[in-house]
Structure 1
Amino acid sequence: MTASTQHVKSQDALLPRHPDTRLEADWLFLYETLPPTKWFNAEYVYKTSGWLNIHADIRKRQHILTQISDAYQSGDIDWAQYRSQILPRINQYVFKLHQHHSIEDNSYFPAFIRMYPPLKTGFEILDRDHVRLDGLLHELQALNGQLAKSEGENKVLSEQLHKTLINVSNLLSQHLSDEEDLVIPILGLN
């Protein structure tokens, strides 16, 4: 293969969907076989839709929390509305994420590594994300606990909570995209 042929071939390779992916090109051999454009094709959807739907729900919950926080920060809702809307949603959000990550860490990821040992380093990145997310979720839950106990308006607390939500959202966005790029092709092709 000539250098110009290699250059054309590398240009034609699929790129991960997240611009800041941590995935190596070598790990995307399944992704190239089953790219995102095929994830919902009739041939694969019964295998891929469950995981994708869970991630869509996580993204939706994250978006709603950020919207509520943004609305309070910009003065579109008052303190009472902010508290009543965000308090129960944070608890449910944290619970759902911990539940999802626990299943991945204890069941799916080890099985996927056994199936595809070359992807081990990619799954180790996802595991480290889970550890970082656990820390952020713990912080989010602690702030939510303070919010539940607060008697009066506390702008400093709401700003800390907002910042933590943004940090979770940024990490989660990258994590979910990287995870899907590794996991969805495995699910669809097996």
Structure 2
Amino acid sequence: MARYTTKIRDFAISAAGRHGLPVSILLGVWKVESAFDPLALGDLNKDGAPYSFGLGQLHVKGAGHGFHPRKLLIPELNADVSASYLAGCYAAFKENDRLAVSAYNQGIAGTKERGEKVNKGYVDAVFAAAAEFAELDAADAPKPEARTYTVKASDNLWKIASRFYADGRQWQLIYDANIDVIGPDPDLIQPGQVLTIP
């Protein structure tokens, strides 16, 4: 049975920080969507394939941004993609947290059309779950453990991002965190350099 762990907390803190979200709301969404199960599968379609995957219960064609379902079961990737999608929901409903959370579940267009009323139970459950994690939104909240990686011959930032985030397109995060080590050209990483992985 899945449960809330320090690793899941750290995924949430990192992903929420990258996307400017309240950590508590992101964890509330994950608790309601998957009960913190990184291998959770959603309802099945007529062919017996699940509609949604992982911590954030991402749909391949929607919030999952077209990633292969196996990739959506990688907790680090799912955490980041679900946080990115939730950030988009917050951007669409800047002044209303409840509508942003509703949009995570029913889509932005559905929320614009129907509002929160059809999704009130879901939204209430997310905010109730988020209350359990409110201390993580404080300025002095625990930070995830810093990870480091020592560059090996034939490495590049794309490969390193693929290893840590299961998505090479996240290389910019690593570069931005290590620009003082790498220098002005992200293509010129050297074996032996120790990089911080945000």
Larger RCO of the pair (alpha carbons < 8 Å, separation 6+) = 1
| Greater fraction of residues in helix | 1
TM-score (norm 1): 0.26
Larger Rg: 1
| Greater fraction of residues in strand | 2
